[in-house]
Amino acid sequence: HDLRSPLSSIGLIYKLMEAGHIVSLSDRGKVALNQARDHTNKMLAMVNNLLDIEKMEAGMLQLELETVVVYEAATLAVQNVAALMETRQVTVDLRQTKDKVIVDKFRLVQILTNLLSNAIKSSPPNSQVAINTQPGNGYLKVSVTDQGSGIPEHLHKTIFAPYKQDANNQHKGMGLAICRALVHLHGGEIAFESQPGRGSSFYLSLADQSYNT
């Protein structure tokens, strides 16, 4: 909490600067401001993830379950990664997401944002990430699929562990660890399929609208 408050204040100053209320920036200054804002947002996301993990471990994170159309949550998640999509030149296909699921909407958006962020970073330029839904027996399977290079087999066992490094010593943060913890908190499951050179698919199994809460 002591870290989150000053980071939020810094982010507010960046927004005021971007709007021209504090100082007029050159094109070079605008680029630098965008970079600073992105790094601050990453730090804030890390702090929020740590707080969420702490709450879940203490049994204090409460879910507000409701019937949610996956398309609505996915649209909000896409908005959260819009800048990354533009930078990486990757699009997201949401056409097959009309099904409904029983979830905490805010947390589903959080899960999909993390999965989309990873998928976009793994995708080549001018490719597409797809979000699909598939009804099951009392559950709904939500998948996020990319066209990237895939996940090396030796990383499969630790992919959901927090702060692991990949073969290039790049830190992966807590995104997937948060996803797994939140899905399990909903009573669901998360898994993935991946082959080198053929992309990756992450699957969430969550209660569909017929589930009796």
Rounded to whole angstroms, how far apart are CA atoms 44 and 106? 17
Average pLDDT over residues 163-188: 73
State the helix-helix crossing angle for 105-122 and 70-80, rounded to 10 degrees.
50
- What is the pTM (predicted TM-score) of this model? 0.79
How sure is the predictor about 172, in pLDDT bands with cuts at 50, 70 and 90? low
> What per-residue confidence (pLDDT) applies to 96?
86
Query: CB of 119 within 8 A of CB of 148?
Result: yes
How sure is the predictor about 143, in pLDDT bands with cuts at 50, 70 and 90? very high
Q: Residue 41: exposed, middle, or buried by beta-carbon count in 10 A (0-12, 13-18, 19+)?
A: middle
How sure is the predictor about 180, in pLDDT bands with cuts at 50, 70 and 90? very high
Note the pLDDT tens digit of each residue in 77-96. Answer: 999 999 889 989 999 999 88
Rounded to whole angstroms, how far apart are CA atoms 122 and 178? 19
